[in-house]
Structure 1
Amino acid sequence: MSKLDRLDIKQLRVFQALIREENASKAAHQLGLTQQAVSEHLKKLRDVFDDRLFVRKTNGFVPTPFAQTLSVGVDKLLVDFNSLIATTSFEPSTVKGTFVIAATDYAQQVVLPKLIAKLRRESPYLKVIVRDFEIDKLHDWMESGKVNLAIAFPDYIPDSYPVVRLFKESHVCVASSHAAITQSQPTLAEVASYPTIIASPSRPNFKGSIDTWFAQFGLKRNVVISAPCFSIVPMYLNTTDSIAFLPSRAINSLDLVEIPLTETPESFDVIAAWHPRYNEDPLQKWVVSLLDVE
């Protein structure tokens, strides 16, 4: 019997789930199988490919280098199978499976609430995983099929990925109502020298995306606090006499005061991106179609 004759789609789906979850019980839950069934499929896969594929660790599995390479082809193959089956019809209300979204802290606040509401309403059997956006890991996640969709800013996304622009956004300077700076009309130099809080989700440091803009005016910001995400910055503003530059849509419902500036930072795009192999995947195309585009 040839290796191809010993391989079936269910085994490939188990392999894909193990790559994503790195845990047999989680993979079993995702596929609606028992853990024993997953183990049996894995045993057959190891025999077919003559590789361990996954090595045990304390709380799950780690894919071998061969498995990581194999996952790219397996993922593409399953996407092609799904496309073949869904050629005649695609019905969101009956779709089962897991869809993984990597999103920045900002996108989780501003973009995902509406998208997830639509997914729950129109595709009740689809399970959604939202994971924090990590720029250094995104490509590996996309290549291995661990992430289906990324929502972030253009600078964070590889140039080879298909993207759709959702809307333009801009930073505004804000402070709490008790901050001394709200009682005056500060110059740009005074704003730069004021104690500033930044969000630095990718790498913990005191550098922010607005630094380059201030440098055009020969100014350097007085950054005193670096937070790991945008959502926590307003809380720090309310307990300190400081300012922050935050995306305008992220502060709509917050009790913050906007500081008027004589010059304003350039606007930027918010985008959604995915791996090219998902271009023809019906589920991928449908989820992207649900995104609000302006």
Structure 2
Amino acid sequence: MSALSRIDIKQLRVLHGLLQERNLSRVADQLGVTQQAVSDQLKKLRTTLDDRLFIRTSNGVIPTPYAESLQPKIDHILKALEDLLTPDELDLQAINKTFTISSTDLEQVVILPYLVEILRREAPGVKLAIKKLELDQLASALLTGEVDLVISNPDFVPPNYPSQCLYVEEYCCVASCDNQQVKDEMTIAEIARIPQLVVSPSRGDFTGAANQWFREQGHPRNVVLSVPTFTAAKACIAHSDLCGFIPSRLLPNTNLKKITLDKNIPGFEVISVWHQRSSQDPLHRWIRDQLLKITDKKREVP
């Protein structure tokens, strides 16, 4: 067994302390251990380094010449270990990096403009790449680093990944201002009979977020159109006899009228999600903090 494999950090800290204090009792107090524990570590060091290291006196210990020669090396090793465990200071002005976010167009309207404003002011070297939400590739994209952060509904993101809630969103039922089939106030049963549109990012299915809730009310809805974005949903509703459910932060819209229902459908959380390997990255943590600050301000969408 090599000498290196027989030495550990506790022994180095004992050696460092004794070289400074030259007293076993004081070193034990500093390290929060017993004096016997310090003596045991010193015994191991003597065997490993093949030197007495310290000579006992009536006032403490005196280092041998060999022990004194080790002091600058021990200082350097412990300083290097301390630096290893100390997070690098984040110099935002010096960073040149691309950060990739995957999200729906809801978050691109509600959050992105304010994040861009902050980045241009505080971290101008950070390039921001926004990708559409590819639901079936999110887990692998986060794992490989193709995507740094996902902002979306919890139902769309991979489970068991680190996340934080940014805000809670509500749905509003809307139809075209020209749609004569709808009234300003309607029941769930009435609205379920109106042909509807759902937003399904990347999958193009017809389930939508509220399908299960409508079935639980005893009024399955008639979904005839699936689109990948809320932007497309607003345009299609505005030019058809369809109705749909749009996040409240994307309203008002001059081409759409809001329908008040006798029951409110459940809202949803908007969360940010990342891979565990990015949890301690300084830039990643800073951007996550900025997202929280943006959403805490509850700014209205222009």
Task: Tell me how far 1:100 sits from its aligned partner.
Answer: 0.8
* Counterpart secondary structure, 1:235: helix
Alignment of 1:1-294 (within 5 A): 87-183=87-183, 185-291=185-291, 292-294=294-296
Fraction of identical pairs, as percent: 35
Q: Deviations over 1:161-213 (max 9, x none)?
A: 11111010111100121111444532211100002121111311222111111
**Matched AA of 1:96:** N
Q: Distance in 1 between matches of 2:183 and 2:139?
A: 46
Q: Is this contact kept in 2: 1:97–1:126, CA < 8 A? A: yes
Q: Deviations along 1:127-181, whole A, 9 cap, x unmatched?
A: 1111111111011111111111110111222332111110101111001211114
Check the 8 A contact 1:165/1:293 in 2, yes or no.
no
CA pair 255-121 structure 1, distance change in 2 beyond 3 A: farther
Give the secondary-structure state (helix, strand or coil) at the position aligned to 1:137.
helix
Deviations 1:104-131 (A, max 9, x none): 2221222222112211221111111111
Q: TM-score, normalised by structure 2?
A: 0.66
Which letter does structure 2 place at the counterpart of 1:246? I
CA shift in 2, pair 1:260/1:111, >3 Å = same
- Which residue of the partner structure matches residue 74 of structure 1? none
Q: What are the superposed Cα offsets for residues 41-69 of structure 1, whole Å, 9 maximum, x if unpaired?
A: xxxxxxxxxxxxxxxxxxxxxxxxxxxxx
User: What displacement does 1:224 show?
Assistant: 1.9
Does the 8 A contact of 2:172 with 2:245 survive in 1? yes
Give me the whole-angstrom Cα distance separating, in 2, the residues matched to 1:84 and 1:98: 25
Q: Tell me how far 1:264 sits from its aligned partner.
A: 0.7
How far residue 84 of structure 1 moved from its aligned partner, in angstroms, is: 5.8
Q: Which runs of 5+ in 1 are unaligned?
A: 1-82
Residues 175 and 242 of structure 1 are in contact (CA less than 8 Å); yes or no, is this contact kept in structure 2? Answer: yes
Whether the aligned pair in 1 keeps the contact of 2:184 and 2:258 (CA below 8 Å) is no
Kept in 2, the 8 Å contact 1:182–1:257? The answer is no
Name the amino acid aligned to 2:284. Answer: Q
In structure 2, give the amino acid aligned to 1:95. I
Specify the code of the residue in structure 2 equivalent to 1:118.
I
TM-score for both structures, normalised by structure 1:
0.68
Please tell me the residue identity of whatever aligns with 2:120: R
Structure 1: how far apart are the matches of 2:213 and 2:112? 29
In 2: Cα distance, 1:213 partner to 1:193 partner: 15
Query: Secondary structure, in 3 states, of the residue corresponding to 1:168?
Result: strand
Cα 1:126–1:84 change in 2 (3 A) is farther
- Partner secondary structure for residue 283 of structure 2: helix
Query: Secondary structure of the residue that 2:139 maps to in structure 1?
Result: helix
CA contact (8 A) 1:170 1:268 kept: yes
Letter in 2 for 1:200: S
Q: CA RMSD in A?
A: 2.0
Question: Aligned pair in 2 of structure 1 residues 86, 286: CA closer, same or farther (>3 Å)?
Answer: farther
Aligned residues: 212
Larger radius of gyration: 2
Do the aligned partners of residues 84 and 240 (structure 1) sit closer, same or farther apart at CA in structure 2, a change above 3 Å counting?
A: farther
SS in 1 for 2:174: strand
**Aligned equivalents of 1:141, 1:214: Cα separation in 2:** 33
- Asked whether the equivalents of residues 237 and 243 of structure 1 are also in contact (C-alpha less than 8 Å), the reply is yes
**CA shift for structure 1 position 220:** 1.2
